[in-house]
Amino acid sequence: MRGVTDQRERIINMDIKMNSASETLTLEIKGRIDTKSAPQLEEIIGSSLDGVRLLVMDFEGVEYVSSAGLRVLLIAQKAMNRQGDMKVRNVNPDIMEIFEVTGFSDILTIE
């Protein structure tokens, strides 16, 4: 029974609010997009893009993005490249720094 895993670590600290208006889907994301929460975000995006021409990700409440989060952004951007546009809004300075150093600022449309 070595290393009983810590149950508390599994808590997902992310909250997503979806707004859909005509062909625009807005996701207001709050919290941390990390290894635990990124799959949830990926699933939501994957199942909601039908007929969406503009995907807006509002990052106002996002405190942290891990590499898994970046990967979801990459997947979303690729998907939207095929059917329209994607915008990322209200990025805080810490995350902006991450976007810049990783070159995501070149790929994403950041407002």
Partner 1 sequence: MIIFIQWGLLRAFHRIGMGAEIQENTMDKNERYIFESIVSDMSDGVFVIGFDGKISLCNKAAADALNTDNNALIGKSVAMLMDEFEENDEFFELLLDAVYTRSKVIKTVPFRTDGQMRYLRVTTSFLIKESEKIALMAVISDNTDPVELFIRNKRLANQVIGLMNSFVEVMVTETEERSAYNADHTKNMVRFATRYLEWLNSQGRLTEFTMENTAPFIMSIWLHDIGKLLIPPEIMDKPTRLGECMKDVSHRIEITKLMLKMKMMSCPDEKEQLQARLEEISEANDLITECNTIGFLDDKRRERLKKISELKCITAEGEEIPIFTEYELESITVVKGTLTKNERKVVESHVNFTRDLLAKMEFRGDYRNVPMWAAGHHEMLDGSGYPDGISGADIPWETRLLTIIDIYEALTAKDRPYKPPVSSEKAFAILREMSDNGKLDRDILASFCESDAWRD
Footprint of partner 1 (CB under 8 A): 1-4, 6-8, 64-68, 70-71, 74, 94, 97-98, 100-107
Give the shortest CB-49-to-partner 1 separation in angstroms.
19
**What is the maximum alpha-carbon separation in the chain?**
53
**Which residues lie closer than 8 Å to 66 by C-beta, 6 or more apart?**
32, 33, 34, 35, 38
Q: Closest approach of Cβ 2 to partner 1, in Å?
A: 5
Minimum Å distance from CB 76 to partner 1? 13
Q: What are phi and psi of 51, to 5 degrees?
A: 75, 5
